[in-house]
Structure 1
Amino acid sequence: MTQVLILYYSRGGATQQLADAIAEGVASAGGEALLRTVNTASDAASERDLEVNTKDLEQCDALILGSPTRFGHMASGLQNFWESTSAQWLSATLADKPGAVFTSSSSLHGGQESTLLSLALPLLHHGMLLVGLPYSEPALHQTDSGGSPYGASHVDHSGKLTDHERQLAVALGKRVASAAQKLMS
């Protein structure tokens, strides 16, 4: 079974909601979602999901990376994790595996697209093949909150995902799992 590592940080739970919807998409494509987080003191995800380790990178067939927006960039805990992966970078552990990104912010102009692009940078450095959301996804045309071709996103107005945000997150998980399956065959 295709294993898709969903590595994310979520302080208030909004990014975790996206991770859960992405995991649903992975499962709908016949994959296994491995939800992991980074170790931080005040982290909603650490109460539920295991802390990521470098073995997770070696064993996964694909990786989807998520973070809340922090001034247009990923959260420092995720950045610290990536800075500890030089050995995996040098050995090409993630090379030629599908990768994707997702984020959440508290406002529509909170820097979602720049965060998605900054999340993609370590994946590119590790040689991953980026998977986005094409405009063939109807919710991408209809959303008035989160979601972009760069990846799934959420604007945290009400504390829960909109229908379109959820549809796009599920679609992203499904696309990544399907891409990994195709690359493995």
Structure 2
Amino acid sequence: MSCQILVLYYSRHGSTKQLARAIARGVESVEQCQAILRTVEELTTKSASNSGDPVVSIKELKQCDGLAMGSPVWFGNMAAPLKHFWDQTTSLWIAGDLIDKPACVFTSSSSLHGGQESTAMSMLLPLLHHGMMILGIPYSEPQLHTTTTGGTPYGASHVADSSTQLSIEESELAFALGKRLAQTARKLK
């Protein structure tokens, strides 16, 4: 039986998308696990998401065995399109459809102290309300001790500065988080 891990993200300039791809590679390194990359709808027609992935449906969220959710830092908070999606999940909350499913978060900011931890925490709130089991990156991951860019115990992260390209540590930590999420989902299933 296959484990379906939803890698849900919003990306304006491509950095969060790169993290999503690294997490998906980690998910798919686990036997019998598949990453399903999805984004959310834009709120206005003036802005365009830089994803290329299909827009998520409530049904896909309900059916997933695990969730990785990512957003760029927007004033220390998750991006409005992602928040808007979660505001439409009341039916899943009432039914308890996400209870005990493992989840993790990831984020990208333009500067080292740009609000990554507060953004990660903002994404955790709806997951906790849905009864999901939160996973972070444990300090047993050696790159967490050496990174000078992104990567936190709250989840994978990237400091974009002037590039969407992930550092080696950022990529390895995102991969490790995806792998941990898939292994946990597989055990729980």
What band does the TM-score fall into relative to the shorter chain? over 0.9
- 5 Å-filtered alignment, 1:17-96, equals 17-30=18-31, 31-40=33-42, 41=45, 42-45=48-51, 48-96=52-100
1:146 aligns with 2:182: no
Give the ranges of 4+ consecutive aligned residues of structure 1 lying more than 3 Å apart after TM superposition: none
* Distance of 2:34 and 2:144 partners within structure 1: 25
Work out whether residues 133 and 168 of structure 1, in 8 Å CA contact, stay in contact via their aligned partners in 2: yes
Checking the alignment, whether the CA contact within 8 Å between 1:23 and 1:170 is kept in structure 2 is yes
Q: CA deviation at 1:143?
A: 0.3
1:120 maps onto 2:124 in alignment: yes
Percentage identity across paired residues of the two chains: 57
Length-normalised TM-score, structure 2: 0.95
C-alpha RMSD of the superposition: 0.7
- The aligned amino acid for 1:176 is L
Higher helix share: 1
Q: Is the 8 A contact 1:57 1:93 kept in 2?
A: no
Rounded to whole Å, the distance in 2 between the matches of 1:180 and 1:21 is 18
Once the two structures are TM-superposed, the CA of residue 59 in structure 1 deviates from its matched residue by 1.1
Deviations 1:13-62 (A, max 9, x none): 000000000000000012100000001141011xx211011111121000
Structure 1, unaligned runs of 5 or more: none
User: In 1, are the aligned partners of 2:18 and 2:164 still within 8 Å (CA)?
Assistant: no
State how far apart, in whole Å, the 1-side matches of 2:86 and 2:78 are: 11
Which sections of structure 2, spanning at least 5 residues, go unmatched? none
Aligned-partner residue type, residue 106 of structure 2? F
Given the two structures, how large is their TM-score scaled by the length of structure 1? 0.97
